[in-house]
Amino acid sequence: MNQLTLPPMNAPEKQIPSDADAAGVDKPEGPAANNSVAASRPGIQSLDIDVPELISKYSIGPRMGSGTCGVVHRALDTILGREVAIKLSPVGEVHATTGKVPGAQKAYQTEVFAAGQLRHPNIVTVYDAGQFEDLNYIIMEVIDGDSLKKYGKGQKQLPVYRAIEVICDCCKALDYSHRQDIVHRDIKPANIMVSEDGRVKILDFGIAVGLSENSGLSRRGPTLGTPNYMSPEQIMGKDLGPASDFYSLGTVLFELLTGKQLFKARKVKELFKIVVHQPAPRLADIRPDLPKGLSNILEKVLQKDPDQRFQSGVEMIDALSGYIEHFKVIEQLVEPQRSWLPKLLDLAFFKEFSDADSARLLSETRIVEYARGDELLADGNRDRQLLILADGVVTVSTGEKNPLRLQQLYTAGETIGESGFIHGNFEKQRYFAACDVTAVEVSAESLSALQPKLHLHYYKRVSDVLLARMARRQTRYEPDIILPL
């Protein structure tokens, strides 16, 4: 049973999605395939529990969600006056003959034990737990927000930078959990919440296992999990290490970036074979617009051999974190800069700059358009502007406006106004649009708004253009061409 989105107190009850319960903890003796299939069958009904109005010191509010293992209600701690979420499941009796503990009861015991070991900003906080009459209860913090299922398969995707931020927060939580000798074993979109204020929380340690014999949890349990997110070694029933959780987290990142689950199959057994034997699809083949380095990171975390994956969250964060700022500056561009960015990245002026550094300049500039015949920098560039031509053709002349004796043509990727921009010189030449022209208008203030190192890099780029142009002018010839405008 998972805590999912917790709507306002007056919101109607909503059904917890079936795969939120696909960990199969209600049938621990069966394989994960049977548990997951059972959880997704239309005939399996959510558990209906008769919930009293008061459990211990908790006044029970409206039901927030339900699944095959239990229900979640809002509640009020009547002593502390704190709103909480209460997860309820039936108490399971130990089998009189076999001594086995029912799956739902085992999950409750495991989650309660894990909660006692874990205190981390990116793991849901458990305040209390106990039994009331024939019910188990766990008291948790209320998280108003959505699980990553909202942004996964077939859903509207998160911005790339935000998806990576969320995964990095999960890496921190898992690193902490592993230091406490606990492997989550059920990392999937439904078990990762993003609150309305942006906090990331991992939920549901109900099928966790220990990393050592001294962890207080079983080192190896029944083969449980959610098939689409299980690691190969988890499917094969092997001992699990931290790399198993990071594999599962990699499948979540793949889904967030592509809108597709990592593997597809019609039957769970077929899916298991694919996960164990078939190489993971490359991100670059599905999203060629994303950096190859990001595809390489996913390829590493999705290796079949756990020793070939990232061994810690810190290691995975180190690989991913550089892409957060990269995509943030690009995805936060406003129009029309955002629409023009892909074309500008191919221009000669921006060749020595990264996509993110190009976007940083664009975020401080404006896109200007000129109709055929318009004069550019008409005031002699007294405002010390630089124009980077994005589209169209510009003629340069010292003659009268119409007709013009052509001195030179400038096209996309070239700049005009470098001398005035750098030295403040009055532009003696005149520039006219030979057709519709689009340009990036850069001012001294635009560069000053950038980080000093990037500011100097752009300034040097403009200086190099100016020096190259001055060198060409020393051997310049004037073609005898007349272009009426």
Q: Are residues 274 and 345 in the same domain?
A: no
Long-range contact set of residues 299-308: C-beta below 8 Å, sequence gap at least 24: 301/246, 301/247, 301/249, 301/250, 301/253, 302/247, 302/250, 302/251, 302/254, 302/262, 304/232, 304/276, 304/277, 304/279, 306/231, 306/233, 306/241, 306/243, 306/244, 306/247, 307/243
| pLDDT of res. 378 | 81
In 3D, which of 29, 23, 20, 19 has the Cα closest to residue 225? 23
| pLDDT of res. 162 | 96
Catalytic choice (181, 186, 245, 357): 186
| pLDDT of res. 283 | 96
Q: Are residues 163 and 285 in the same domain?
A: yes
Q: Are residues 158 and 132 in the same domain?
A: no
| pLDDT of res. 38 | 34
Query: Which residues, given as ranges, of the chain have pLDDT below 50?
Result: 1-44, 96, 403-404, 477-483, 485
Q: In sequence order, what are the residues at sequence separation of 6 or more whose Cβ sits closer than 8 angstroms to the Cβ of residue 197?
A: none
Q: What is the Cα–Cα distance from 138 to 136, expressed in whole angstroms?
A: 7
| pLDDT of res. 474 | 62
Other CB atoms closer than 10 Å to residue 429's CB: what's the count? 15
Q: Is 214 inside any structural domain?
A: yes
Q: Are residues 259 and 110 in the same domain?
A: no
Q: Is 12 inside any structural domain?
A: no
| pLDDT of res. 304 | 96
Q: Is 441 inside any structural domain?
A: yes
Q: Are residues 209 and 286 in the same domain?
A: yes
Q: Are residues 93 and 152 in the same domain?
A: no
Can you give the CATH number for the domain in which 110 is found? 3.30.200.20
Q: Are residues 89 and 113 in the same domain?
A: yes
Can you give the CATH number for the domain in which 344 is found? 2.60.120.10
Tell me whether residue 128 is one of the annotated catalytic residues: no
Q: Is 118 inside any structural domain?
A: yes
| pLDDT of res. 216 | 65
Structurally, the chain folds into a number of domains equal to 3
Residue range(s) defining the domain that contains residue 150? 145-328
Q: Is 316 inside any structural domain?
A: yes
Q: Are residues 258 and 395 in the same domain?
A: no
Q: Are residues 33 and 170 in the same domain?
A: no
Q: Is 5 inside any structural domain?
A: no
Q: Are residues 292 and 433 in the same domain?
A: no
| pLDDT of res. 14 | 35
Q: What is the Cα–Cα distance from 272 to 270, expressed in whole angstroms?
A: 5
**Domain boundary, last residue among 303, 328, 353:** 328
| pLDDT of res. 102 | 59
**Domain boundary, last residue among 110, 140, 170:** 140
Q: Tell which phi-psi region holds residue 306, choosing left (phi > 0), alpha (psi between -120 and 50) or beta.
A: alpha
Q: Are residues 130 and 164 in the same domain?
A: no
| pLDDT of res. 42 | 41
| pLDDT of res. 207 | 82
Q: Are residues 338 and 324 in the same domain?
A: no
Distance of CA 9 to the CA centre of its chain: 29
Which contiguous run of DSSP H or E holds residue 301?
helix 292-301
Is the distance from CB of 207 to CB of 221 less than 8 angstroms? Answer: yes
**Domain boundary, last residue among 278, 295, 328:** 328
